[in-house]
Structure 1
Amino acid sequence: MLRGTALTGLLVGCAPSRAPVTVQDTVVEPVPPRAEYRLVVMGDQGTGRPEQRAVARAMQAVCREWGCDLGVGLGDNFYPSGPDHVDSPLFRERFENLYGGLGFPFLMIPGNHDESLVWGGDGANPGGAEVQLAYSRVNSRWVMPDRFYRARLGKVAEVLAVDMAPLAAYLPSRRPQERPGGSWDAAQRAWLKQKATSSVAPWTFLLGHHPLFSNARHGEAGAYDRLPTAQQRGDAVRSLYRSVCGDVDVIFSGHDHALQLFAPQPECPGTWQVVSGAAGQGESAQRGHRPALFQEFHQPGFTWLRVNESEVKLRFYTVDGNGTPTLAFEQAITK
């Protein structure tokens, strides 16, 4: 695996903090270059429940049949909250024991449960994400080199990974600069826009725990959980995603424990949205009515995709209690 830095600079944000934030463009090449990549995508998997183990077995079956080169973890890697030190047995029990046998690395991002402060899922402790960064230095299968980073998939795709937890936390982040409008938020936002607009790869993917669009329980960015404050309802998440609409081809998110696929929408033309947050349990309920090509709210499951320079093939799998995968929907996206 190649890790490097290509850009270091200073950005100064606005209120609530004007302290400068050092921006490091962290780049990884998680697997050797090839003409085609096969990825398995899981989100909200870290429940420790039987459903998590069943989905892990189903992923193994799909990877044996169709092949897998790389995994993606979309956050909420642990419930109710993330480990507080790198030697926590949770890393072994809820990651390595379940997915290590697959033999390939996972691009990981944090979710709101990983950054819990007062109660599980409040999203107010960025130190939780930093424990998971430290774990990436001791387990090469867990790829999380920074809070926001990019991964190159040869000449086929570029993957941009961001940390959405501080931007839709139920409580204000313990670090003022990481609250919406702070200097850390400005740094991540500027980095994402620059990398999305400058990408020359045939495909550009964005990984962010919270979804832009969702018909499931938490709802859409800007209206999460029908909560009253701009931060809680995800106004900053919505504006961050919309700033790169059309510059990224697919947004992959979790947060809602459901499987959903949205074609490009009028509010975000040119960008598809995949919600794949059912790898630990499928327990959501339909709340919204945005037109979706596919949605499953009750069964656990995951997403598999094959990408080459001309096509992205998406497959959504549901999983029963025995770990048997069922192909529920597939969609090809072409340029």
Structure 2
Amino acid sequence: MCDDELIPPRADLTEDQWARTAGPGPADAAVPAGPPDAPAPARGVHRRTLLGGAMAGAALAALPFGAQQAAVAAPRAGAPGRFPLPSAPGPAGEYAVLITGDAGTGAAEQYAVTAAAAEVCRAEHVGLAVGLGDNIYENGPESDDDSEFAEKFERPNTGIDVPWLMVLGNHDCSGLIPGSGGDPSRGDREVAYAATSRRWYMPARYYNVALPADGSRGEPLVEFFALDTNPVASYVAQTDPHYYWNGPYMREQRRWLDAALTASRARWKVVLGHHPYLNNGKHGSAGSYDGFMIGNYTSGIHLKKLYEEVVCGRADLIMSGHDHTLQILEPTDRTRGTRQLVCGAAAKTGDGKAHFTHPAAWQDFSRHGFMVLKAGGGAMTIDAYTVDIATKKARLAHRTRTARPVAAGAGAGAGAGVGVK
């Protein structure tokens, strides 16, 4: 669904409300129906609740699902001349990584943001980029050589000549109902496209990439864990048993993520997933996306559990798109020191206001923009840029610096935030 189609009928929990209702731990806590003093739901709530189930019925019975593939496909060789992953930190002793999300429109706004980002990338010696999903609007590619890859990714990003770590969004896995996330098999086309693109990096539907600290085979400085969140956050129920919320695909992905985070010796660990854990934009947070409070899919309740039980307290950052806003949320006791970023304003924007109150270092709900992550041996910095579409110029709006990784202790990820005029 597009960002302007659904507005949550009521807020999810604030940080204080979460603290009062939290049980022994995320695995044991009950899912609250909402704040005890919340007003009665709007008249449209029941209709929305029914819609989540009804759309999985007759309207979706004819969705064309492709043949199932292994949960993690073997990486394929890239195109000749493919841009290489960085093998050592840049001149400042850190990796500089461009962060974008929800970019794939091919419209003027996308071109303006990438033009502004390209200028920043040159100045900051960016060697890697991340695309946080919704890579091909509105319903994903029709094949692995669809012309939309050129129209909505290659041409707009000309000049940002680095590998792009790509994740799947709900619009990449849709089909008959754009944005529904109801046809995950379409994501296999984006994995296959990586074999022919110099920029697009997606060796599997979920994967990890570690960047070395000094160009050697020693412990990594930063490691990225790219997830496919669609089967546990789709607007419709999945009809292919392989992609059920509790089916083999999600069970294997959870096992992989748990093992990969356990095995990682990286100083900084960054999880990439299209759908956010926490979010102050109108899509809301996992467990109550778009006001849905029940069901195994639309609410994102099982993604919430995945983040809380596997990611929080073990990764330094969760980076997400989905909401067309820019947010640098604060790490808290709830997240056990893990910080949530929302960066989905590379081609579309939000409605200009916050819908929820999760603690934030900085946030913007009305402007286009992107972020740059800088990971060094002693600190990690997040620069947030807003973009003036008319002039195609970026402005550094905020900088947050984190001095210690989450591994040093829950809450240790909190850093200083600086607003930039």
TM-score by length of 2: 0.72
Distance in 1, Cα, partners of 2:69 & 2:192:
23
Contact 1:45 1:277 in 2 (8 A): yes
Partner of 1:103: 161
Is 2:289 the counterpart of 1:224? yes
Partner of residue 103 from structure 2, selected from 33, 45, 61:
45
Question: Helix, strand or coil for the counterpart of 2:135?
Answer: coil
Is 2:401 the counterpart of 1:332? yes
Distance in 1, Cα, partners of 2:69 & 2:118:
45
Partner of 1:303: 371
5 Å-filtered alignment, 1:61-210, equals: 61-154=119-212, 155-210=220-275
Distance in 2, Cα, partners of 1:84 & 1:20:
17
Q: Which amino acid aligns with 1:116?
A: S
Distance in 2, Cα, partners of 1:44 & 1:22:
24
Partner of 1:6: none
Unaligned runs of 5+ in 2: 1-67, 78-83, 213-219, 405-421
Question: Helix, strand or coil for the counterpart of 2:158?
Answer: helix
Distance in 1, Cα, partners of 2:145 & 2:336:
44
1:22 to partner: Cα distance: 5.8
Partner of residue 329 from structure 2, selected from 249, 262, 265:
262
Aligned residues: 317
Contact 1:301 1:319 in 2 (8 A): yes
Partner of 2:313: 246
Misfit runs of 4+, over 4 Å: 19-29
Question: Helix, strand or coil for the counterpart of 2:110?
Answer: helix
Partner of 1:236: 302
Partner of residue 392 from structure 2, selected from 284, 307, 323:
323
Question: Helix, strand or coil for the counterpart of 1:98?
Answer: coil
1:312 to partner: Cα distance: 0.8
Partner of residue 272 from structure 1, selected from 335, 339, 343:
339
Partner of 1:289: 357
1:101 to partner: Cα distance: 2.0
Contact 2:106 2:153 in 1 (8 A): no
Distance in 2, Cα, partners of 1:226 & 1:61:
39
Distance in 1, Cα, partners of 2:75 & 2:197:
18
Contact 1:30 1:151 in 2 (8 A): no
CA RMSD, 1 decimal: 1.9
Distance in 1, Cα, partners of 2:123 & 2:73:
39
Q: Which amino acid aligns with 2:298?
A: Q
1:46 to partner: Cα distance: 0.9
In terms of mean alpha carbon deviation, does 46-55 or 233-242 score higher? 46-55
Identity of matched residues, %: 37
Unaligned runs of 5+ in 1: 1-18
Distance in 2, Cα, partners of 1:247 & 1:26:
26
1:21 to partner: Cα distance: 6.2
The change in CA–CA distance for 1:91 and 1:194 in structure 2 (over 3 A counts) is same
Larger Rg over CA atoms: 2
Contact 2:73 2:205 in 1 (8 A): no
TM-score by length of 1: 0.90
